[in-house]
Amino acid sequence: MRKAVLLVLVLAFSLSIFAVSDDIVASYQERFVRCRDGYDAQGMKKIIEELESMQDKDYRLYTILADALVEYAQWALPKDANKREYYEKAMEYADKAINLKPDYAYAYFVKGAAIGRLAQYVGIIKSLFMVGDFDKSMLKAIELDPKCYRAMVAMGMRYRDLPWPFKSYSKAEKFLLKALEIEPRYINTYLELGILYEMWGKKEKAIEAFKRVLELPPMKGFTSLGLEAKETAKEHLKKLKGD
């Protein structure tokens, strides 16, 4: 009888730990999304500092930390800052998350995002050697989560922007249209699709896509990014219309 009671107490204690852990993760995820939404640099920096100093992190916290590093480097640091170390650390933390949870789609997406950003700092030749790792990460994210629309947007940009023989406008279009099918509120997909059509010489389709960027409100969680997309779309429309 005593053993049964002891077992119940141990299980109850374990469940309480997991519940607290879930609450902590949810809190950090909520703070992260809020900081990303408004480009809150100080708030994002605080998240990074807190998570890096935390001794015990699970795969979810490692992934949030990695994503925070990517976001912070992308929009909080000056354009001429050395962002490479942020992206390298993000890859390291994403790998730790993947090692703990090999089927966690979010971690693969963040790792792919960090690889893509890092490629901007290593030169065109070295960046081409990173394409395989980028593809592997993003495609794994899509395999594990077929609704991972941001990974599809990333793959669309990859096929659009890389030089031959890595380029394919038709594959880029396929990924971007699939992303829109899954999440039509994410207006940055329309922006990337418009840029694709502009590069492809499909002027009318490009204009249509850029107009959609201006018509739709920014998606919650990506407000600042969406507002940037609107300004970029205006510039492209002005060029296409010859204003």
Instruction: Return the structure tokens found at 74.
Output: 């992308």
Euclidean distance between CA atoms 174 and 83, whole angstroms: 31
Give the DSSP letter string of 100-133. Answer: H-TT-HHHHHHHHHHHHHHGGGS-HHHHHTTHHH
Per-residue pLDDT of 69-126, as tens digits, reads 999 999 999 988 889 999 999 999 999 999 999 999 999 999 999 999 998 777 766 6
For 162, the 3-state DSSP assignment is coil
pTM of this structure: 0.89
Per-residue pLDDT of 124-141, as tens digits, reads 666 778 899 999 999 999
Segments making up each domain of the chain, as ranges: 172-243
CATH annotation of 172-243: 1.25.40.10
